Amino acid sequence: MTASSSKVERIQSPHVVADRDEELDRSLRPRRLEDFVGQPVLKEQLAVSVEAAVARGEALDHVLLAGPPGLGKTTLAQILAAELDAPFVQTAGPALERKGDVAAFLTALEPRSVFFVDEIHRLARALEETFYPAMEDRQLPITVGQGAGARVVTLELPPFTLVGATTRSGLLSAPLRDRFGLQHRLEHYGLDDLATIVTRSAQILGVALEHEGAVAIAARSRGTPRVANRLLKRVRDYAEVRLGGIVTAEAADAALALLEVDELGLDRLDRELLRAVCEKFEGGPVGLSTLAVTVGEEQDTIEDVYEPYLLQCGLLKRTPRGRAATPRAYAHLGLQAPERSGDSLF
């Protein structure tokens, strides 16, 4: 090997590194329904629908997948395409800005394609209406010309399956939601399922992982596979640098302590958010906009990313007047809960 070739191998373009990271993340995703861990009821329902569609030679009915980020909505959409042996086309609600954008995707679909729209709740209302005849009648009305000479031409579309993913299903209009024949909500994962996911990912990554290490990582993964895989990578780095490469329970605990992830899976911002409610607003209630400014985070991020897990843990609750901390939040932070009387929030 020449010095110049060695130098080329060592100096990597950021784009090359990013592509490798993305490829690595994709490799951790299960590719068949039988390999997908957790969500047993959802898996069974989808398996029946897929088998029936394949037996009839039809496109699967349109599917709406709802739930917090990181639970596997995109992975399930890709799995559906694989199980149906159908092309997979992906976009996101914010990327569709004009009716022409929607038309370009729909008219290019091959028969029985799976068309995945992430963050579908962020579609403009005018664009939602473009999907109505496409989903219901496989037709796409196009207006040709302008003014008095304008006319509507209807294009026939091939049979396809629209898979919509949303973290906020309440923002979908009723007409769009009702056009999804299959509607499912993904729930947070239990400890055993997360430990299984961590173990599987460790095998793919070539990480030496003890069962206790997998459980330690799973316990702090916020019930979310994406978080579990992210923590596994960071714990792997720590174990390789400090502990000879084997991920034990002790290695996981030390690595996650370094990352400021506590025993409940809360990170520094989670605790800052709780501490702000407890200390600066005396336990609440405090409005979401005020809380967002206080911790320096976007309202949507707090509502979609942080709140669901804090609510699930019983550390935070929503009231008609805003967010309020619970006694468990004070205990977790090592603070003294204020005494409440009369209309106690607790």
Residue 1 has pLDDT above 60, yes or no: no
Q: Which one is catalytic: 118, 193, 253, 270?
A: 118
Closest listed residue to residue 77, CA positions, set 119, 125, 138: 119
Residue 343 has pLDDT above 60, yes or no: no
Mean local confidence (pLDDT), 7-33: 57
Specify the pLDDT at position 340. 60
Mean local confidence (pLDDT), 108-113: 93
- Do residues 29 and 129 lie in contact, with contact meaning Cβ atoms separated by under 8 Å? no
- Which one is predicted more confidently, 115 or 10? 115
Residue 28 has pLDDT above 90, yes or no: no
What percent of the chain is predicted at pLDDT more than 70?
Answer: 88
**Domains present along the chain, CATH in parentheses:** 31-185 (3.40.50.300), 191-258 (1.10.8.60), 268-333 (1.10.10.10)
- Provide the CB-side half-sphere exposure for 302 (13 A, CA): 21
Using one digit for the tens of pLDDT, what is the confidence trace for 163-217? 999 988 888 889 999 999 999 999 889 999 999 999 999 999 888 999 999 999 9
**Residue environment code for 254-287, b if the CB has 16+ CB neighbours within 10 A, otherwise e:** bbbeebebeebbbbebbbebbbbbbeebebbbbe
- Which one is predicted more confidently, 15 or 177? 177
Q: What is the mean pLDDT of the chain?
A: 85
- Which one is predicted more confidently, 194 or 28? 194
Mean local confidence (pLDDT), 240-250: 87
167 labelled catalytic: yes
Per-residue confidence band for 151, with pLDDT thresholds at 50, 70 and 90: low
For residue 278, give Cα distances in angstroms to 25, 84, 342.
Answer: 37, 51, 19
- Do residues 199 and 174 lie in contact, with contact meaning Cβ atoms separated by under 8 Å? no
226 labelled catalytic: yes
Tokens of 230: 């992210």
- Which one is predicted more confidently, 77 or 29? 77
Most confidently modeled range among 4-13, 43-52, 291-300:
43-52
- Do residues 218 and 198 lie in contact, with contact meaning Cβ atoms separated by under 8 Å? yes
Specify the pLDDT at position 15. 45
Q: Which one is catalytic: 29, 112, 122, 226?
A: 226
Mean local confidence (pLDDT), 269-290: 88
Mean local confidence (pLDDT), 284-308: 85
Alpha helix locations (H) across 155-277? 174-178, 191-205, 211-219, 225-242, 249-258, 268-275
Measured distance CA(54)–CA(60) in Å, rounded: 8
Mean local confidence (pLDDT), 310-327: 89
For residue 329, give Cα distances in angstroms to 262, 266, 345.
Answer: 13, 11, 13
Tokens of 279: 């200390």
Specify the pLDDT at position 6. 43
Q: Which one is catalytic: 74, 130, 199, 224?
A: 74
Residue 16 has pLDDT above 50, yes or no: no
Per-residue confidence band for 24, with pLDDT thresholds at 50, 70 and 90: low
- Which one is predicted more confidently, 314 or 342? 314
Specify the pLDDT at position 22. 56
154 labelled catalytic: no
For residue 261, give Cα distances in angstroms to 227, 267, 300.
Answer: 11, 5, 22
Q: Which one is catalytic: 75, 130, 166, 167?
A: 167
Per-residue confidence band for 7, with pLDDT thresholds at 50, 70 and 90: very low
Mean local confidence (pLDDT), 296-314: 85
Strand, helix or coil for residue 156: strand
Handedness of CA 72, 43, 307, 231 (dihedral sign): negative
Measured distance CA(115)–CA(95) in Å, rounded: 14
199 labelled catalytic: no
Handedness of CA 84, 109, 23, 185 (dihedral sign): negative
